[in-house]
Amino acid sequence: MPVIRDTEIEQLMRDYAQPILKAANLSKQNVRVVVLNDRSFNAFVMDGRHIFINAGALFDAKTPNEVIGVLAHETGHMAGGHLARLREQLATAQTASVVAMLLGVGAMVAGARSGAADVGAAAIMAPQSAIMRSLLAYVRTQEDQADHAGVKFLTATGQSPRGMVELFKRLGNESLFNTRYIDPYMQSHPLPADRVAALEVLAKQSPYWDRKDPPELQLRHDMARAKLAGFLERPDTVARRYPLGDHTLPANYARAIVTYRHGDLRQAIAQIDALIAAQPNNAYFYELKGQALLEGGRANEAVAPLRRAVQLAGNAPLIQIMLAQALISTNNTAVAEEAVEMLRTALVREPEAPEAYSQLAMAYGRKGDLANADLASAQAAFTRGDLPTARQLATRAKTRLPIGSPAWVRADDIVNVRPTKN
């Protein structure tokens, strides 16, 4: 899936989700909110460890409370064990469907003998339609339960369910025309108007209905949306979203990103420096400056702002990886060891980051440590899913590493991995 990795946005999602997860007794499950690069509005869960939310949902949500409401709903699915129950329902539906098909085939054989084979076809289709309707009814019930649980978690954390209602209402109004003539019994979600009406009655019972988001949280939300716009949208789209007359911090943030990505680097650095002057302790402004300089071929100048970003962001691993990349790109062998240690530290918290392994391979190469360079390259290929290349590089690494050493064992593990069979 096209995952967006960004420290600022991920930290905001953690801050949104943690109180809700704690209220749902899920805080110890290390649940992560994963942002996907998809402009449509959607959020979903696939397991007990991740909540997926599209960037489009963040674009459409005007307040933190609206996003928190979505996360509360998805947490309701996790807390209710809906995924496991849905799998049971699917297994039951599959079994019932097979039985219906076998009975239908028998009827078709009998019909063929009597010259009425269409009776058998109807015998297949009718039970399958009933099974599908039953399954969808079960899913709609889960959606209603998740709405109720979401309101419960919001109330338990002293947050308003109003954003949840308003967001669903806005989305319902947008889809009103498309739902006018559909069969409500063949939908996986309750019809928008019915859902909003039921949710609003429940939500207005909360004593926190009128509670607003703190201004500082609203600013962080607006900054995250500006960042997504700057990186994901076309310059003309960003210009319409943030016209030149808009001198707010989010607007300046979005324009600075667009300028560095599509315009003059010198002008972009001036805009980013103005952001830093406005908020001297904002780690993500220093990160942006370092990223712009690094991608602009000025690695030596990128090191200082990235060091400051790492310091202010509490050694965030994604920023550490970028700083290590800048150090390596200076072609200064004196900082190769620092880059190695920084990347190894970052990989403890980001063990599935192929770019970190690739940079680690380059850092070891700068030091002349070809054995560990091969191992890191093998790990990079492995995390990308390129098993043949990973095994080839790990085999070469084994010839250069002391037999039985921890690095040799890691290389041997990669060599002996076999692809899973579907």
What pLDDT, in 10s, does the model give residues 39-94? 888 888 887 889 999 999 998 899 999 999 999 999 998 888 766 555 655 555 45
Q: Which residues on neighbouring strands pair with residue 34, listed in sequence order?
A: 52
Distance (Å, rounded) from C-alpha 109 to C-alpha 136? 31
Per-residue pLDDT for the chain (422 aa), expressed as one digit of tens each? 699 999 999 999 999 999 999 999 998 888 999 999 998 888 888 878 899 999 999 988 999 999 999 999 999 988 887 665 556 555 554 544 544 444 444 444 444 444 554 544 444 444 556 545 555 554 566 787 888 899 999 999 999 999 989 888 887 654 433 333 333 333 444 445 777 888 899 999 999 999 999 999 999 999 999 999 999 999 999 999 999 999 999 999 999 999 999 988 999 999 999 999 999 999 999 999 999 999 999 999 999 999 999 999 999 999 999 999 999 999 999 999 999 999 999 999 999 999 999 999 999 999 999 999 999 999 999 999 999 999 999 999 999 999 999 999 999 999 999 876 55
The helix-helix angle for 162-174 and 64-79 (nearest 10°) equals: 90
pLDDT at 46 (0 to 100): 81
Query: Do the bridges between strand 32-36 and strand 50-54 make them parallel or antiparallel, or are there none, so unpaired?
Result: parallel
Q: How many CA atoms lie within 13 A of 380 on its CB side?
A: 17
pLDDT at 323: 98
Please state the φ and ψ torsions of residue 319, each to the nearest 5 degrees: -75, -35
Q: Which of 53, 61, 44 has its CA nearest to residue 14? A: 53
pLDDT at 184: 37
Instruction: Give CA–CA dist 336/329, Å, rounded.
Output: 10
**At which residue do the structure tokens 């607007």 appear?**
251
Backbone phi, psi, residue 54, to 5°: -75, 150
For 240, half-sphere exposure in the C-beta direction (CA atoms, 13 angstrom radius) is: 4
**Identity at 407, one-letter amino acid code:** A
Query: How many Å apart are CA 224 and CA 95, to the nearest integer?
Result: 46
Phi, psi of 327 (to 5 degrees): -60, -45
Helix H or strand E segment including 36: strand 32-36
Cα-Cα-Cα-Cα torsion 228, 192, 156, 158, nearest 10 degrees, comes to 60
Domains in the chain (CATH in brackets) are: 1-214 (no CATH), 217-415 (1.25.40.10)
- pLDDT number for residue 389: 97
* Rounded Cα gap, residues 189 and 197, in angstroms: 14
pLDDT digits (tens, 9 = 90+) for 353-408: 999 999 999 999 999 999 999 999 999 999 999 999 999 999 999 999 999 999 99
Please tell me the predicted confidence (pLDDT) of residue 108.
Answer: 40
Say what the pLDDT of residue 168 is: 81
Taking the mean position of all CA atoms in its chain, how far away is CA 309? 23
Query: Across the chain, how many H-helices and E-strands are there?
Result: 19, 4
The pLDDT, as a whole number, for residue 400 is 96
What's the pLDDT score for residue 18?
96
